[in-house]
């Protein structure tokens, strides 16, 4: 199976790349701005690409069975245009995937649009963690991807939302899945490690179980 990863040197993408390369059934292409930042591997092809250039991105994606969208321009609070960059990147990636004829688009989502027990999206609920306030525009940009995907019917897309806290930890191999509702552990926390999130997403790439919908993973 041939897959392409966009954003493979990023916060989520680097873990996805490592997980994908651990699966011998996958031939992986990393499409990155700086090919020199990616370590060589026998099953890895590295291509230089710009997610904002639909034509060249489509050329890089052509011939793959699935594309993984892990691109994010950054979360720095100083990036005033981070939301606009997110949306422009999402739109270009969707268009390029369609143009390239890649049938499946698996997207790294965010928790912001997941529903809480209040019946409100996490971002608008009392469950929202104030620690995320400095990154609100970036988080809004990731949430926008879900709403851009919802009307798309000519791609087999998936939006995988992590729990509220996504951070490096351990690859436990144990996680729960849900659909639209945020998952909480017995202690009230909502979290998933980057390693287990990558495991869940690559499992979905190899064995598709969700089609044109969002799902979530957590402990």
- The per-residue pLDDT for range 179-214, each reduced to its tens digit, is 999 999 999 999 999 999 999 999 999 999 999 999
Query: Cα–Cα distance between 165 and 193 in angstroms, integer?
Result: 8
Q: What's residue 33's pLDDT?
A: 86
Mean pLDDT of 26-43: 92
Q: Is the pLDDT of residue 77 over 50?
A: no
| Stated pTM of the model | 0.95
Q: What is the largest CA-CA distance in the chain?
A: 49
Q: The domain spanning residue 97 has which CATH number?
A: 3.40.50.720
Range of the domain at 15: 2-218
Query: Cα–Cα distance between 142 and 145 in angstroms, integer?
Result: 5
How large is the angle between the packed helices 82-100 and 54-61, nearest 10 degrees?
Answer: 50
Query: Cα–Cα distance between 17 and 22 in angstroms, integer?
Result: 9
Summarised one tens digit per residue, pLDDT across range 170-183 is 999 999 999 999 99
Number of domains in the chain: 1
Cα distances from 88 to residues 109, 141, 172, 200, in angstroms, run: 16, 10, 35, 27
Which band of pLDDT confidence, cut at 50, 70 and 90, is reported for residue 111?
very high
Contact (Cβ atoms closer than 8 angstroms) between residue 92 and residue 53: yes
The edge-to-edge listing of strands for the beta sheet with 2-6 is: 44-48, 27-32, 2-6, 66-69, 104-108, 156-162, 213-218, 176-178
Which of 12, 1, 10 shows the shortest CA–CA distance to 159? 12
Query: Cα–Cα distance between 53 and 92 in angstroms, integer?
Result: 7
């Amino acid at each position: 199976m041939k897959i392409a990863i966009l954003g493979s040197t990023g916060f989520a993408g680097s873990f996805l790349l490592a997980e994908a390369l651990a699966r011998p059934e996958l031939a992986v292409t990393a499409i990155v701005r700086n090919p020199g930042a990616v370590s060589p591997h026998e099953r890895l092809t590295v291509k230089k690409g710009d997610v904002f250039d639909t034509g060249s991105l489509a050329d890089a994606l052509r011939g793959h069975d699935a594309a993984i969208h892990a691109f994010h321009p950054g979360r720095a609070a100083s990036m005033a245009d981070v939301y606009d960059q997110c949306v422009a990147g999402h739109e270009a990636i969707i268009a390029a995937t369609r143009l390239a004829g890649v049938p499946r688009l698996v997207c790294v989502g965010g928790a912001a649009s997941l529903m809480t027990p209040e019946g409100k999206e996490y971002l608008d609920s009392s469950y929202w963690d104030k620690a995320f306030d400095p990154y609100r525009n970036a988080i809004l940009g990731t949430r926008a991807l879900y709403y851009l995907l919802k009307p798309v019917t000519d791609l087999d897309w998936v939006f995988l939302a992590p729990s509220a806290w996504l951070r490096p930890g351990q690859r436990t191999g144990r996680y729960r899945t849900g659909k639209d509702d945020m998952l909480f552990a017995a202690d009230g926390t909502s979290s998933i490690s980057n390693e287990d999130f990558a495991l869940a997403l690559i499992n979905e790439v190899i064995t598709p179980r969700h089609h044109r919908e969002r799902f979530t993973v957590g402990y």
